[in-house]
Homo-oligomer: A and B are copies of this chain.
Amino acid sequence: MPGPLEGLKVIDLSWGLSAPYCTMMLCDLGAEIIKVERPLGGDFTRGNGPFIDGVSVYFESISRGKKSITLNLTTPKGKELLLRLVDTADVLVSNYVPGAMERLGLDYETLKARNPALIYATVSGFGQTGPYAQYPAFDVIVQAMGGIMSITGEPGGAPVRPGASIGDIQAGIFTAISILAALYERNQSGQGQAIDISMLDCQVATLENAFARYLIAGEVPTALGTRHPVSTPFQAFETKDGYVVVAIVGGVNDQWPLFCSAIGRLDLIDDPRYKTSYLRSVHYDELEPIMSAPMKQKTTREWLEDFRGLRIPCGPLNTIPQVASDPQILAREMIVEIENPKLGKIKMVGTPFHFSRTRPKVSRPAPSLGEHNQEVLGGFLGLTPEEMKSLKAEEVVA
């Protein structure tokens, strides 16, 4: 069954991770992604290690299923071919530095004049407007500037970067939402529009709780190890052989009495200081050793059995290899195998999008540079073999 975005055509002028993650999701959902790359080297992430037999595993995972064409957009012919492709497309995505699309003559107004239904989405470090618009940015820059690094780490310790590229990825996800919302609106108005996503904005948008506490209640959020600022217990505890994670939220009548019984501290149940998850957070310093000490007496597996018996939300703290072989992850098809022309069968992360009718399947490999020049430029645009040959000679395509 094809995915729900079957038939959607996306011109993908992107590189790195943010916008490519957006088009990866659209591709997983069934859209046709035509990745337009520089003839010399293409997307720089083709050069990002680690490599297996010269293949970047990073690029392989982000670009699965996309089509690649090469075009030198600084030549009049390359630009003209791109414009002809845009005429046939629903969406264009770019994360070039603000100003670059304009310098190439590919600004929104120009493209809108040719294709008024086009949805023109840009992703940049700071957005197309504002005092930082021209500053370059990568993931760690916006993670730092957006505040999450100041609230990640040990209490009183050095700041820590969350271990995933959420500065890029969240911007990519928000771009996908914007594009799909604009498609919904286009279905009624017939008109496209421009979308301007800033990685920094997206960072701030996902820190809602930290900002709510500061902006409304005046609290300054800080790093708290593994725990939650306003829910307790909601953290990892060290066990005899590793860690176990427990989460109890809500007001009165939550699972706190069950947790007290599990750790053999029935005396805490009626203590007014610990009546709600929020009050327990306020009194965390005195409560922490009371909770932590008994947790070290059993193994993680024993605690999981105890807590699950009581329906207390809990789980192990997994390494990446443990996740990759977890029975739930496998049952959900979150690890898939793709046939790569150079490497044979390789595994990668599947798609979290589960639909009852139009379930997408991740199955096609990432393209080699310019692999679909013939299909796209020859097939879609109808260029003759002679024209293709002369474009190559002129280094318009690779």
Contacts and interface: CB of A to CB of B under 8 A. Distances in A.
Report copies per complex. Answer: 2
Interface residues of A, number: 165
Nearest to A219: B50
A204 to B, nearest CB: 5
A194 interface: yes
Interface stretch (A126-134, A289-297, A375-383, A386-394): A126-134
A49 to B, nearest CB: 3
A247 interface: yes
Contacts of A354: 127, 195-198, 201
B209 A164 contact: yes
Contact of A230 (B48, B144, B324, B352): B48
Contacts of A177: 25, 29, 173, 176-177, 180, 353
Name A's interface SS: mixed
A205 B351 contact: yes
Contact of A201 (B25, B136, B164, B352): B352
Nearest to A165: B209
A179 B77 CA distance: 40
Interface string A155-168: 00111111111100
Nearest to A221: B320
Nearest to A127: B332
Nearest to A255: B136
A161 B60 contact: no
A158 to B, nearest CB: 7
A321 B208 contact: no
Interface stretch (A81-89, A98-106, A184-192, A265-273): A184-192
21 contacts: A4-B182, A5-B181, A17-B209, A29-B177, A130-B327, A131-B331, A132-B327, A135-B313, A140-B226, A140-B227, A140-B235, A145-B318, A150-B163, A150-B318, A159-B317, A178-B355, A197-B353, A201-B329, A214-B320, A214-B321, A216-B343
